[in-house]
Structure 1
């Protein structure tokens, strides 16, 4: 069974194969397809596609953890400026964080998800989870779930509350304020850490996807252990779909998972990071790119069981997409979004979708889409 879905938008000459792959993905998706795909090459748009009922080019889906890319681009800029020092302790900026044995953790280790402060005993309320200042205050006094700096595990819902508090203590400004001032507004990006009320009509509500029969059987055999690190890190049993679909949550701009944006916005942000755009030089210098993209979190993630997948604040997309350069950096998001930059090729990629990709993370179709994009670049 296939769907008859109209693909809207344009591709540059040589990228027709990307449009064909995108159309094929939509045709095969029987779970209410709807998505956006944008790609820039050396700062110029080469793919701008969208499809699905209620999806427009400027629709604003929730991007969940792709938000972390925006937050940590701000951190990278502050490191580049000399405002933040990767090898200073977090506590030297934020003294309260030293509680419960966290005093020696460096900012570098925090960005590599090595703090152990993945959540709190008893969990957060939905209201706490939406507010980075409340998260930071509670996490400061929490005993870490492993000895800081000795291992790493995905701080899925809280990493940018922690790094954001360091930014606040060092600058007096929030990550959201700095993102607006230095990145979103200058480049006119449709990507928001805090959705303005006026943009509510453009928000595309996330719709949950039930597990497949195979996934459901696996869950029945191995149900979620509420005491596991995975449960702590994802604040089990929080319903993240209902949470992000709440306007007051999106308005606060929680910088780990609370962002909304279009594929154009995501790709545009990464293009600005690595390319000349509209006469502006790249936001990040080569040495900053290399430092934030290189492998810092070595071994197996204690939360997700993934391996070798973090640089500093960013994921390393060359792990799931080996056709990318080792210096690629970005982040995926729970509803299926994926966004990254590949400095070696000049690619900036953004993908969003409205249907939650069970159990989370980048939607599987990104493998085919990224491969088609890379193939088009190589054939040019």
Structure 2
């Protein structure tokens, strides 16, 4: 059989997931250099551990873009669980400077649900600023919001991690990156880094740029967008040098700093492992989040037309509310996050599923790659058979 071969294993009953993954790898629209990883745990058992494509192996790392946000939200959830943070306190209670220009009544809950109105800065960020969460936070504290805070939803693509990170720093004196490393990544041995050590740099495969089909190229050309629209501001296209998202994700500074909105680096094993740790199934260390915290962070906070993308957005407390969006086969209260190149990680507490998918080539049109719909459906079908 010609084409890209699938490496790895699946448990008995999950053969259809392997077949679906093989079809993804050999999709003729993706090209011969398509590479991806898929891992899933069900009720604590590793049932899917697959990879395939040029240069990629089970332990390869790639930029995971906005899947990084899941790690940032997990740290916030741990601090709420500890009683250190209150979701219904105003952000300005913890970070007074943020209260400028009518942002003083915005709560931490609303901030995490992408309702603050500060999706970017009027003159954009330099590449150096965009790699530095503290610099982003300092700029946005004094930024006038683009809509009345708390009244609408708009995806804070490049900045929500910095905003949440500054709240955490003001409360604890520590960064989210430090707390994630100490309480999550190291004790659970995860190949998902928010702040990539130089010792791991040799395992990283750069993200490859999108290779759109002719039909997709025509759609892109017909909808050029504007650098000064809300979407352009949110994706830093209004900067003196507009941000190329592939180039940014591949930058050393973004990876090394662990920029909290899209600077993480990991594997599918690492993504799935973090969400398994949230559930705790089969782990000696136990669950990171108790049932009450998990339920609260899975509760829908925002559902409506996204002022940045123009599409429907459904957010829980930070995490995407996946069952209400693209994945109706998942249980209500599932939490996770996707990344622009196509990655996706989530935990389904009702069906006890932890999932991680990672790919090397940037997916069209960005966000969770379309194949995740088919992979998740096959996985759930097998898990509930």
Report the TM-score, using the length of structure 1 for normalisation. Answer: 0.97
Q: Is the 8 A contact 2:89 2:108 kept in 1?
A: yes
Alpha-carbon distance, 1:175 to partner: 0.3
Tell me the residue number matched to 1:130: 131
Q: Deviations over 1:145-186 (max 9, x none)?
A: 101011110000000100000000000110000000110001
Tell me the residue number matched to 1:321: 327
Tell me the residue number matched to 2:120: 119
Aligned-partner Cα distance in 2 for 1:139–1:172: 20
1:1-380 correspondence runs (5 A):
4-29=3-28, 30-31=30-31, 32-236=33-237, 237-318=242-323, 319-379=325-385
**Stretch of structure 1 that moved more, 212-221 or 236-245:** 212-221
Structure 2 unpaired stretches of 5+? none
Aligned-partner Cα distance in 1 for 2:2–2:121: 44
Aligned-partner Cα distance in 2 for 1:144–1:267: 35
Aligned-partner Cα distance in 2 for 1:56–1:325: 31
Aligned-partner Cα distance in 2 for 1:377–1:279: 23
Aligned-partner Cα distance in 2 for 1:326–1:153: 22
Alpha-carbon distance, 1:16 to partner: 1.3
Alpha-carbon distance, 1:265 to partner: 0.4
Alpha-carbon distance, 1:257 to partner: 0.2
Aligned-partner Cα distance in 2 for 1:176–1:54: 29
Aligned-partner Cα distance in 2 for 1:277–1:161: 33
Aligned-partner Cα distance in 2 for 1:279–1:45: 15
Aligned-partner Cα distance in 1 for 2:2–2:62: 22
Alpha-carbon distance, 1:296 to partner: 0.3
Q: Is the 8 A contact 1:3 1:28 kept in 2?
A: no
Q: Is the 8 A contact 1:79 1:86 kept in 2?
A: yes
Q: Is the 8 A contact 2:153 2:313 kept in 1?
A: no
Alpha-carbon distance, 1:210 to partner: 3.1
Q: Is the 8 A contact 1:156 1:234 kept in 2?
A: yes
Q: Deviations over 1:293-339 (max 9, x none)?
A: 11100221111223241001100111101100111110000110011
Aligned-partner Cα distance in 2 for 1:219–1:47: 35
Aligned length: 378
Q: Is the 8 A contact 1:295 1:308 kept in 2?
A: no
Q: Is the 8 A contact 2:120 2:159 kept in 1?
A: yes
Alpha-carbon distance, 1:263 to partner: 0.3
Alpha-carbon distance, 1:6 to partner: 1.3
Aligned-partner Cα distance in 2 for 1:113–1:305: 14
Aligned-partner Cα distance in 1 for 2:83–2:58: 37
Report the TM-score, using the length of structure 2 for normalisation. Answer: 0.96
CA distance change for structure 1 residues 83 and 365 in 2, over 3 Å: closer, same or farther? Answer: same
